[in-house]
Structure 1
Amino acid sequence: MKKKSALAALSLILSTGLVAGVAAPGAVAQEPAAAQVTAEVSEAGKATIKRDSYGVPHVYADTTRDLFYGYGYAVAEDRMFQLEMAKRAVLGTSAEVLGPDYVEIDKRSRASFDPEAIKAQIEALPQEDRDILEGYAAGFNERVGEVMANQEELLPKQFTDYGFEPTTWSGYDVAMIWVGTMANRFSDSAGELSNLQVLQQLTAEYGAEQGQLLFDQLQWTEDPTAPTTVPREDKKHPNKLAVDSPSQLSDLAEVSPELEDNGLASMKQFGGGDWPAVKPEASNLWIVGDKKSKEKGSILLNGPQFSWFNPSYVYGIGLHGAGFDVTGNTPFAHPTILFGTNKDISWGSTAGPLDVNDVYQEQLNPENPHEYRYDGEWRPMDVRTEKIEVAGQEPVEHQVYSTVHGYVTSFDAANNTAYSKKRSWAGTEIQSFMAWIKIMKAQNWEEYLEQAEKVGITINWYYADKEGNIGYVSPGKLPVRAEGHDPRLPAVGDGSMEWEGIRPFSENPKVYNPKQGYIVNWNNQSAAGFNAGSGNWSPVDRVNEIIERLEEKQKFTTDEIWDINEETSFADLNIRYFRPFLEEAVKTLPAKDSLVQDVRLLTEWDGQRRDGDDDGDLDGPQAAIMNTWLPILFETVLKDDLPASVFENYAQGSGLARPANGSKLVYNALLGEDAGVEQSVDFFNGADKQQVLLDTYRQALAQLAAEQGADRSAWSVPAPQHEFSYKNFIGVPQANAEENLTGPDYMNRGTQNDIVSLFGSEASMCTVAPPGQSGFIAPDGTKSEHYADQLQMYADFECKTENLYPQQLEANLESTTVLK
């Protein structure tokens, strides 16, 4: 059903091809538990690397240092340029080799961490833990040395094209890849300043009282009807602010229109979005346990949505020895497997939902803009001067300022204010990293939770085991905020709104073997009460696409769990919320009214946005109708009640990756008194809601007829395509520009997908991580045979069998390397 011809041509251009091992998830060969892994290391070698038919390395070693030495060496074989540029991106040294265009990126990266603090955390680790980082770096450096000694055959072509050489690594560099691509990307969001600017726009136009009512209707703190990963016990959870009074901001709260929010710019650099969706929203997951799997055990499917890149965002790896026996995929070849199994348990993750950061408004000394008011006196800001080397020009000095709360993200000189960001997880970065490494050895839920409690950053963790138990926990350090602190808005930085401690881990959202028999998440709310200041979650949520399918059957096979992935990947994320209102509205029309049949185009639509005939357009007129109707509906209902600059955030209606922002507001307005958020402002202005739906629908049909002709069956919209970007998520090249890949048709699914079945003594895993395992291009331009051999597989919703057992690996062995 995909554009196989285009992808076949792409494969031909890339000179790659599929190899044996493509599978449906339920077709994975399974072996008895007796086939235990042992460290198959040559007596003369540190580690042995065995690669399977897709180039996935399995590393065997006797000691922790040697195991990760082998890991680092294998990564350097496959992804040396990608990892070199990832290191530069997170450390802020991109401009050193790429020039002045990357200075601003480097500034934001350097302001996101304290090098000395990270180094101190590493130094405090026991040697066994440091062996992980140092061994990985040593293995990587071993391969760098080999490459530099034989550049004519081994140096990745991108280094020559960009005009610089690979650098050696330290344990600190290895740790910073994780800090920069996980902690800083997924645990650093804070939308308070953007919220404040919106509130000020609303109050400027409508006055303080009406502006506050509108703000509460746009940015609520709790909707008791929103789906949660920990099932709600009380569907009538009180809908009120999580604070007793509005935020006690001083008169200096006014924000200059020209203020540049460097905190928001940094957050966007690391994966955030535009207001109101400022939190990273990346990944879905569903698990069924013993109650809903047809065989005794568990099935876990994870689709982390990091966006799409070439080389792949994730790296496949197996680690065997020194207490580890794990296989799976992990972002940027972290020395831990984020999506994997040790055959006793499996685990996965999605972006963290907890509010672990606060923005503070600092009052500045009019006589000195680098002094701020705290505890009744002016205090000097701490300052760190960073020297950024720039290719082709003089170095640039950059000052990073901090207050007692954290890094200063913005200065508002016109109002003598600055904004700083306080992280509850500051100082726990390496502790969190090590906990994620150690879950690979966990054998049960208790051992898994033991590591989760050590995690300071916000993240969602999921668990399943061979006995059919399933669990969810949302780690992260949750601050106890001062009375009167509205978490949606900046806190006053004068010392009156300081945190009163950290909530105990026992209060973090978690659930084990829920009655429903499944756990599901698509970046929805974690649990009742955990919303204030961040998520803005509502019943209009893409997770309903998964929930509906899990509720349709009592028991699932592995194949049936995998099939949900395809169905949700093409689901229109808005129609389910408007369908019942359209059905009611059309009942008011005469049976002969032509609009009755036109409305049924949507109400009887299966909601799938596909290009089944490969003509380049989505099938049927429905996608075109939705894309045209929703913006008209949003404009009619919302535009007159919102300032133009605020309405812009709700104007678009396509909602490919998640429901349109405007759908949440209009759905609540349609519900009226039944909405989970109080509708103080009538967005319909007293008009008949059903008539508004019909009138705007007619307008959409008229617009389409004018643009595409009267034949409804011919209405269409182009099928969007995936782009596998040659730049990483920070915006730094990790390949050559010509390595940008386009296709297949857009699927709202994981950057990678993995499915793990654990049925007693049997374990199986199937994964797909396009474009391929290796990003290596030889000096003469020859690409690795595994450069893009998972791209067609991804398009066809297939996956490759992971070799969890030695016998499987030996049967699919491509190469063996012994590291001396």
Structure 2
Amino acid sequence: MKFNKLVIAMGMACGVILAGCNDSEDSTTPTEPETQLQAFAPNGLLKANIRRTTYGVPHIQADNLESLGFGSGYAQAQDNLCVLADGFIKANSQRSMYFGPHASIDFTTGQPTAEDNGNLISDFAYKALKIRAQAEEKWPQFSENSRALIQGFTSGYNQYLADVEAGKQTAEPFCGGQPWVKPIAPEDVVTYLFSIALLPGAANFLDLIFYANPGDAQEYMPRIVGPAPSQDQTAFVADMQSKLIARAARITTPETNPRGLGSNGWGLGKDKTENGKGMVLGNPHFPHTGNLRFWQSHITIPGHLDMMGGSLVGMPGPINIGFNKDLAWTHTFSTAEHFVMYNLELVSGDRMQYLFDGKPMPITKETVSILVNAGPAGMLVAEKDIYTTAKGPMVEAPPALAPFGWDDGSAFMIQDANMGNMDPVDHWLAMDMATNKEEFQQAFKDYDGVIFNNTMYADKEGNAFYIDDSTVPGLSESAVVLLKTSPDIKAAKAQAGFTILPGNTSLFSFDGPTPYARAPKLERTDFVQNSNDSFWSTNLNEPLTYFSPMYGPEAGQLSLRTRMGLSLMQDAAGADGKFSLEELEAAVLSNRSYLAELVLPDLIAQCDAQGSTPVVVSASLSKDVTSACTALKAWNGKQDNDSKGGALLREFAHQFSQTTMLTQGFDPANAATTPKTLTTDGSALVALAHSALNLEAAGFALDAPLGEMQFVEKSLPDGTPSGSRLPWPGSHNAEGGFNVFSTSLSGDDTLIPQYKYAPVMDVVTGKAMSSGLTAKGYQVRYGSSWMMAVNFTDEGPVARGILTYSESSNILTPAFADQSILYSSEKSFRPLLFKEADIAPAVVSTTELMLQKP
């Protein structure tokens, strides 16, 4: 397809007191609340109380938002300093300055493991995205509430660094004392938040932004400026250039969700719960390390705010997924698109102007610079030309590799609806403070800050509510019609995987996100759910239709995980079909496999019929599947630590093809149960034999318990393995699991070192196995993270949950691994301590923070 012609007609003084759990708690006695919620600390005096209970959970109390942010910033730095510091450095285009040009580094030697220029590309691309410039420009325009929380968070983070320097606190070993761990300003927090907002969009195009230029040679190359170069500098530049040229030859069309972000979320209404009140199940699947770690906290401003849950590290106070006394919600990653790639029609003879409604518009060239630590060559200043339009950065890739060229006739640019999004803090704060469904919905009407999320909600009245009000380009109704009907637009999206529109007409332009009124939403009294399929399947008794294709497909085939969730919704609630809190927790931790329930009986029957006759796998490989059949018969129906044959099922799932191995195709009228019926053409037995050969070649028994093969092993601060492997129960997406885990490190965008065992090679293809199997087994790096089940009762919310990878990334604290050990050994949630009567007896430390601002 030819895309080119796609045309349609900080502080002065501080006192910190650390006390044991038996100390007096007079300091936590709530003061009489003001009538109105205070944003800023009166007279600039920040005060916060942090009580930590079992598993290191901080309960943060303050009298105003700025002080609440102060306590949150301090507590988050205690638990995840390196993640935060790395995020600030990355967003501010300073990675090359501190770590050198390459993102792949062996911190035991200080040398790159791959000369990928990843830091260089990231730094220049974020300069082109202008997130720091936007943060500085927009910071004064933020609401009082957002500014108060962000300023407080900044003060708390900086106070922690000051306390580390004074010897009052001990920082994480990896980053403690490093020059890149430094005090921040509010604009640094805003820059970081702006970078996170771009993760589902423009941040996936960093390579294409870096390489964009109107010339036909290597004009994209950074230039070293300054005095005449030394021999070391000359060698450094030559090596950098050769590696950048090689990388340009490997560019491919970006994925819109390369981090594989996913989740399950349920909101249960009064007709689906035993007590007739709402329930929420939250089960986000996120990386276990890095800047997308969840962090649990309980935040309180007496008389105004009392909220518990999990948030991404760096959220300056508000809770992202959690509950208060009246309502609860969770999020899942939406199928919606958050950006548009525009195909620009250039002015004839001028590659620096494009036509828009017949008028020439400029493409702006700007020279930006970064500092690069070049090792023996010293600290160098590198400059580069970047190219932008008024709506977003230019992108380019070799047409043979990704069809986004820049020639005499056309070029491409990205406009991201989340660019400079000022709403997230206000949006989640409004949700945190809501007391009923109407106030909760008003938060979505007032703000567009949930970035890339579906939302599933339930409350004490038994209401269930779903909305995909993630930040989606606000195209006109006329444009939406063309998205649905134009063969060219549909074909371009099918090829690229995202929407590409003509940039020469205002018909397809947008200036903001799609409004609340046009977002998919549903209210029910039974349930709403999402497992990363589109809005359409929120509740198949009432499919959602007639929405913009930018939100995702309608009437599309569901994932095996969604089908597993719908099965659990129907059969995991007991004889009455209504959930109790215990049944809800048991459902998510059941570790069933929808694929096995769909095909295993037929597969075993085929296996028995095959007997000892070898199954031909390739021209040189065949396998007697008798032992494989025996192992599958021994499997106990779930993927737990004691599940024999669980790894064989895992490998079979990765060889399985729904397209070719199920004979009855997808039927939208029976979306929860189709496609189905295992083929009898022998291909399933080939997949089984192939799987068995792979496991045996890697040295594993076919009937090995899954807990002997699937594990979590945390890394030491230098990135070497700790040697302590925790058996890990849980299923995988490929199996149609619900509580899923993966070996993928995708989504950890930090430079904090994490050890990864070498993959095992497939006996047929010679490539790394898609299951991620290593010689040690399945090394879990991703999956269920902050998990919670909330039930509203006459006495208030009762909740259980777990943060599977534990609260802190600081190896020096018990909260580094305590919840991981709990999950590994007991596969259960723990009580979430929300009421004061439950919190007070469980307090293990108290910190009083106070700071008088200048």
TM > 0.5 fold call: yes
Partners of 1:716 and 1:291 in 2: CA distance: 37
Whether 2:276 is the aligned partner of 1:296: answer yes
- Partner of residue 479, structure 1: 475
Aligned residue among 114, 135, 139 for 1:122: 139
Against the structure 1 CA distance between its residues 702 and 381, is the aligned structure 2 distance closer, same or farther, given a 3 Å change threshold? closer
Gaps of at least 5 residues in structure 1 are 1-18, 21-35, 195-256, 274-278, 631-652, 655-659, 678-687, 778-782
Asked which structure has the greater RCO (Cα within 8 Å, sep 6+), the reply is: 1
Matches within 5 A, 1:282-681: 282-309=262-289, 313-321=293-301, 323-335=304-316, 336-364=318-346, 369-376=351-358, 379-391=361-373, 392-412=378-398, 416=408, 417-427=410-420, 429-453=421-445, 454-455=447-448, 457-475=451-469, 476-477=471-472, 478-480=474-476, 481=479, 483=482, 484=486, 485-486=489-490, 487-488=493-494, 490-495=500-505, 498-499=508-509, 503-514=514-525, 517-527=526-536, 528-529=544-545, 532=549, 537-552=556-571, 553=573, 554-568=577-591, 571-572=592-593, 574-578=595-599, 608=637, 610=639, 612-613=641-642, 619-620=644-645, 623-624=647-648, 627=651, 653=654, 663-666=657-660, 670-671=663-664
Moved more, 411-420 or 810-819: 411-420
Whether 2:186 is the aligned partner of 1:171: answer yes
Partners of 1:436 and 1:802 in 2: CA distance: 20
Against the structure 1 CA distance between its residues 609 and 810, is the aligned structure 2 distance closer, same or farther, given a 3 Å change threshold? closer
Partners of 1:54 and 1:713 in 2: CA distance: 35
Partners of 2:390 and 2:141 in 1: CA distance: 24
- Partner of residue 845, structure 2: 815
Secondary structure at the counterpart of residue 508 of structure 2: coil
Partners of 2:98 and 2:277 in 1: CA distance: 51
- Partner of residue 737, structure 2: none
- Partner of residue 53, structure 2: 52
| Aligned-partner residue type, residue 389 of structure 1 | L
8 Å Cα contact 1:371-1:379 kept in structure 2: yes
| Aligned-partner residue type, residue 835 of structure 2 | Y
Whether 2:709 is the aligned partner of 1:719: answer yes
- Partner of residue 174, structure 2: 158
| Aligned-partner residue type, residue 424 of structure 1 | A
Against the structure 1 CA distance between its residues 582 and 815, is the aligned structure 2 distance closer, same or farther, given a 3 Å change threshold? closer
Partners of 1:57 and 1:411 in 2: CA distance: 47
Moved more, 70-79 or 372-381: 372-381
Moved more, 298-307 or 727-736: 727-736
CA displacement, residues 617-641 of structure 1 (integer Å, 9 cap, x when unaligned)? x622x7536735x6xxxxxxxxxxx
- Partner of residue 758, structure 1: 792
CA displacement, residues 65-101 of structure 1 (integer Å, 9 cap, x when unaligned)? 1222222222223322221112112332222211121
Partners of 1:625 and 1:801 in 2: CA distance: 33
Gaps of at least 5 residues in structure 2 are 1-19, 22-27, 34-40, 103-118, 209-245, 399-404, 537-543, 616-624, 671-677, 720-744, 759-775
| Aligned-partner residue type, residue 311 of structure 2 | T
Against the structure 1 CA distance between its residues 406 and 667, is the aligned structure 2 distance closer, same or farther, given a 3 Å change threshold? farther
Aligned residue among 795, 808, 821 for 1:774: 808
- Partner of residue 149, structure 1: 166
Matches within 5 A, 1:112-261: 112-150=129-167, 154-160=170-176, 163-164=178-179, 166-181=181-196, 183-186=197-200
8 Å Cα contact 2:530-2:562 kept in structure 1: yes
How far apart are 1:441 and its partner, in Å?
0.2
How far apart are 1:811 and its partner, in Å?
0.8
How far apart are 1:706 and its partner, in Å?
9.4
CA displacement, residues 351-401 of structure 1 (integer Å, 9 cap, x when unaligned)? 122233221223456855444444446543124443222234312224432
Partners of 1:426 and 1:123 in 2: CA distance: 17
Cα RMSD over matched residues? 4.6
| Aligned-partner residue type, residue 129 of structure 1 | S
Partners of 2:797 and 2:666 in 1: CA distance: 50
How far apart are 1:493 and its partner, in Å?
2.5
How far apart are 1:531 and its partner, in Å?
8.1
Matches within 5 A, 1:784-803: 784-795=813-824, 796-803=826-833
8 Å Cα contact 2:365-2:386 kept in structure 1: yes
8 Å Cα contact 2:93-2:123 kept in structure 1: yes
Against the structure 1 CA distance between its residues 785 and 46, is the aligned structure 2 distance closer, same or farther, given a 3 Å change threshold? same
TM-score w.r.t. the length of structure 2 is 0.66
Secondary structure at the counterpart of residue 466 of structure 2: strand
Against the structure 1 CA distance between its residues 590 and 786, is the aligned structure 2 distance closer, same or farther, given a 3 Å change threshold? closer
How far apart are 1:666 and its partner, in Å?
2.9
How far apart are 1:435 and its partner, in Å?
0.8
8 Å Cα contact 2:640-2:707 kept in structure 1: no
Partners of 2:95 and 2:782 in 1: CA distance: 31
How far apart are 1:331 and its partner, in Å?
0.9
How far apart are 1:419 and its partner, in Å?
2.5
CA displacement, residues 6-27 of structure 1 (integer Å, 9 cap, x when unaligned)? xxxxxxxxxxxxx99xxxxxxx
Identity %: 19
- Partner of residue 83, structure 1: 84
Against the structure 1 CA distance between its residues 784 and 418, is the aligned structure 2 distance closer, same or farther, given a 3 Å change threshold? same
- Partner of residue 215, structure 1: none
| Aligned-partner residue type, residue 389 of structure 2 | T
Against the structure 1 CA distance between its residues 604 and 505, is the aligned structure 2 distance closer, same or farther, given a 3 Å change threshold? farther
